[in-house]
Amino acid sequence: MSDEFIMQMRPWFGEEEKRALAEYMEEDGFLTEFRRTAAFEQAIADYTGARHCIVTNNGTVSLTLAALATGIKAGDEVIVPDFTMIATPNSVQMIGAEPVFVDVEPETLCMDIDAARAAIGPRTRAIMLVTANGRYPRAGIAAFERLCAEHELILIEDSAQSLGSRYPDGTHMGLKGAVGSFSFSAPKIISTGQGGALVTNDDAIAHRLRRLKDFGRARGGTDIHDEIGYNFKFTELQAVIGLEQMKKLPWRVERKREIYRRYMQNLSDVPEVRFFDQDLVHTTPWFIDVMVENREQLQAHLKAAGIGTRVMYPPINRQKAYNRPGHYPVAEEVGRRGLWLPSASQLTDAQIDRVCDAIRVFYGR
Ligand SMILES: Cc1ncc(COP(=O)(O)O)c(C=O)c1O
């Protein structure tokens, strides 16, 4: 057994990325987005089955761009889960829209549809559904589509953690709403360092996304601007890495599922560790997320055993950045007991067993 420290997560790049970068640097020095970026977008579109894919600097501004392109404006309310990475609400706060927090389902940590329904008011413009750890809500995505249709709301899927995850009907996450967003930050299943992607089947939205991310240019290569846009563009260097990472995605999807299964089997008789409902046929867990007893003590015990973990997101309404009143029992419970175990695709079976053995020792099982 290795004594090497097992990190909770780390990106994984190999010789292929290095070689592709060196080849690109021999060939072109512009680095700004061009053919490799278009090829990376096509690779994501092919993999997800999207009609359009538009890449951006990261998975936060991609959500802001999605909000802008779908017509969300300052003063509008956007319903978001209280359990998510803070980028979800921040992305709409940035344009002056107001995130409205609702609780999540205890089984999936995706938005609770009854809570979402109850939060709809005259200023509500959109629902930003986070497919937490690649999961879909128990209520079903169709129920969210219906709710949005009934109230004329825009459905945006924050699928930052869900590349490689599909709904049970086979549709890739991100493609049920008006637009879906992915992130390629360092801990994601594939990474370009920073990076985001939007997918949509709507031609008009795709057109707006492309313009808005390129300063509102009327056409590529001109300095004529019909509207205000931004610089939310990518680089060829990231695309070169992303193209190599996309080739590795199918293997990583399978491996993530195997890793999750092994953790579940190893810990099945440890009642202090509870897993969420993860459909391992259609979805791909990004992280191994569990609810545990005595979290801080467990974390310290694992750290002393050379194992890294990370506490899950605290309820966002309670973060100083928002400091909003409200009681969201599930998000609060996750804030107290949620823990991410080592989750990198490169984890070996022996390392998983070492983590599980250390957990068993802690609980005396
Ligand atoms: C649910 C969710 N939304 C948005 C983001 C933001 O993505 P990025 O870090 O690429 O800005 C993340 C990143 O972890 C995320 O998990």
CATH number at residue 306: 3.90.1150.10
- Rounded to whole angstroms, how far apart are CA atoms 226 and 182? 28
60, 61, 67, 71 alpha-carbon torsion, rounded to 10°: 170
Beta strands in the chain (DSSP E): 52-56, 77-81, 98-102, 124-130, 154-158, 179-183, 196-200, 273-275, 288-292, 310-311, 338-341
What percentage of the chain has pLDDT greater than the value 90?
96
User: Are 238 and 257 found together in one domain?
Assistant: no
Alpha carbon of 183 to ligand 1 centroid (Å):
6
pTM metric for this prediction: 0.97
The answer to whether residue 4 is domain-embedded is: no
User: Are 317 and 229 found together in one domain?
Assistant: no
Residue type at 321?
A
The pair of three-digit structure tokens given for residue 318, joined into one six-digit string: 């309670």
Domain count, the chain: 2
The answer to whether residue 224 is domain-embedded is: yes
Task: Select from 63, 78, 185 the residue to mutate for testing ligand 1; criterion: most ligand atoms less than 8 Å from CB.
Answer: 185
* Arithmetic mean of pLDDT over the chain: 97
Task: Select from 179, 183, 192, 343 the residue to mutate for testing ligand 1; criterion: most ligand atoms less than 8 Å from CB.
Answer: 183
Burial of 15 (0-12, 13-18, 19+ CB in 10 A): exposed
> What ligand 1 atom has the least distance to the C-alpha of 62?
11
Alpha carbon of 222 to ligand 1 centroid (Å):
32
> Are 80 and 128 spatial neighbours (Cβ–Cβ below 8 Å)?
yes
The answer to whether residue 3 is domain-embedded is: no
User: Are 103 and 210 found together in one domain?
Assistant: yes
The answer to whether residue 178 is domain-embedded is: yes
Residue type at 187?
P
Among 191, 222, 243, which residue terminates a domain? 243
> What ligand 1 atom has the least distance to the C-alpha of 91?
4
- Rounded to whole angstroms, how far apart are CA atoms 82 and 88? 10
Q: Please give all residues whose beta carbon lies within 6 A of any atom in ligand 1, as ranges.
A: 58-60, 84-85, 87-88, 130, 158, 160-161, 183, 185, 196
The pair of three-digit structure tokens given for residue 13, joined into one six-digit string: 């790049």
**Residue 327 CB coordination number (10 Å):** 10
User: Are 193 and 303 found together in one domain?
Assistant: no
Residue with CA at minimum distance from ligand 1 atom 4: 87
> Are 339 and 312 spatial neighbours (Cβ–Cβ below 8 Å)?
yes
Residue type at 124?
T
Residue with CA at minimum distance from ligand 1 atom 8: 59
> Are 302 and 359 spatial neighbours (Cβ–Cβ below 8 Å)?
yes
User: Are 332 and 355 found together in one domain?
Assistant: yes
Task: Please compute the mean of the pLDDT values over residues 220-226 and round it to a whole number.
Answer: 87
Contacts for 253 with CB less than 8 Å, ≥ 6 apart: 164, 189, 284
> Are 311 and 155 spatial neighbours (Cβ–Cβ below 8 Å)?
no
Hunting for tokens 């966002």 — which residue is that? Answer: 316
The answer to whether residue 9 is domain-embedded is: no
**CATH code of the domain covering residue 108:** 3.40.640.10
User: Are 178 and 110 found together in one domain?
Assistant: yes
User: Are 231 and 258 found together in one domain?
Assistant: no
pLDDT in tens, 261-299: 999 999 999 999 999 999 999 999 999 999 999 999 999
User: Are 75 and 131 found together in one domain?
Assistant: yes
Q: State which residues form the domain around 213.
A: 15-243
Task: Select from 129, 161, 232, 238 the residue to mutate for testing ligand 1; criterion: most ligand atoms less than 8 Å from CB.
Answer: 161
> What ligand 1 atom has the least distance to the C-alpha of 61?
11
Predicted confidence at residue 2, as pLDDT, reads 56
Residue type at 331?
A
User: Are 231 and 292 found together in one domain?
Assistant: no
Alpha carbon of 61 to ligand 1 centroid (Å):
10
Residue type at 329?
P
User: Are 286 and 225 found together in one domain?
Assistant: no
Predicted confidence at residue 58, as pLDDT, reads 98
pLDDT of residue 220 exceeding 90, the answer is no
Burial of 265 (0-12, 13-18, 19+ CB in 10 A): exposed
pLDDT of residue 1 exceeding 60, the answer is no
> What ligand 1 atom has the least distance to the C-alpha of 188?
14
Length of the chain: 365
Handedness of CA 302, 308, 313, 319 (dihedral sign): positive
User: Are 76 and 140 found together in one domain?
Assistant: yes
> Are 98 and 127 spatial neighbours (Cβ–Cβ below 8 Å)?
no
Alpha carbon of 169 to ligand 1 centroid (Å):
25
The pair of three-digit structure tokens given for residue 271, joined into one six-digit string: 């009642």
- Rounded to whole angstroms, how far apart are CA atoms 159 and 48? 12
- Rounded to whole angstroms, how far apart are CA atoms 237 and 314? 34
pLDDT in tens, 23-70: 999 997 889 999 999 999 999 999 999 999 999 999 999 999 999 999
Closest CA to 126 of 185, 179, 202, 162: 179
User: Are 112 and 239 found together in one domain?
Assistant: yes
Alpha carbon of 232 to ligand 1 centroid (Å):
15
Task: Please compute the mean of the pLDDT values over residues 337-352 and round it to a whole number.
Answer: 98
Predicted confidence at residue 38, as pLDDT, reads 98
> What ligand 1 atom has the least distance to the C-alpha of 184?
10
Exposed e or buried b per residue across 270-304, where buried means at least 16 C-beta atoms within 10 angstroms of its C-beta: bebbeebebbeebbbbbbbbbbbeebeebbebbee
**pLDDT classification of 235: cutoffs 50, 70, 90:** very high
The answer to whether residue 210 is domain-embedded is: yes
Alpha carbon of 81 to ligand 1 centroid (Å):
14
Residue with CA at minimum distance from ligand 1 atom 14: 85
Among 243, 259, 278, which residue terminates a domain? 243
- Rounded to whole angstroms, how far apart are CA atoms 99 and 81? 9
The answer to whether residue 228 is domain-embedded is: yes
Angle subtended by helix axes 35-48 and 236-266, to nearest 10: 30
Give the single-character DSSP code of 323: -
The answer to whether residue 10 is domain-embedded is: no
3-class DSSP assignment, residue 355: helix
Among 243, 274, 300, which residue terminates a domain? 243
pLDDT in tens, 148-173: 999 999 999 999 999 999 999 999 99
- Rounded to whole angstroms, how far apart are CA atoms 294 and 301? 11
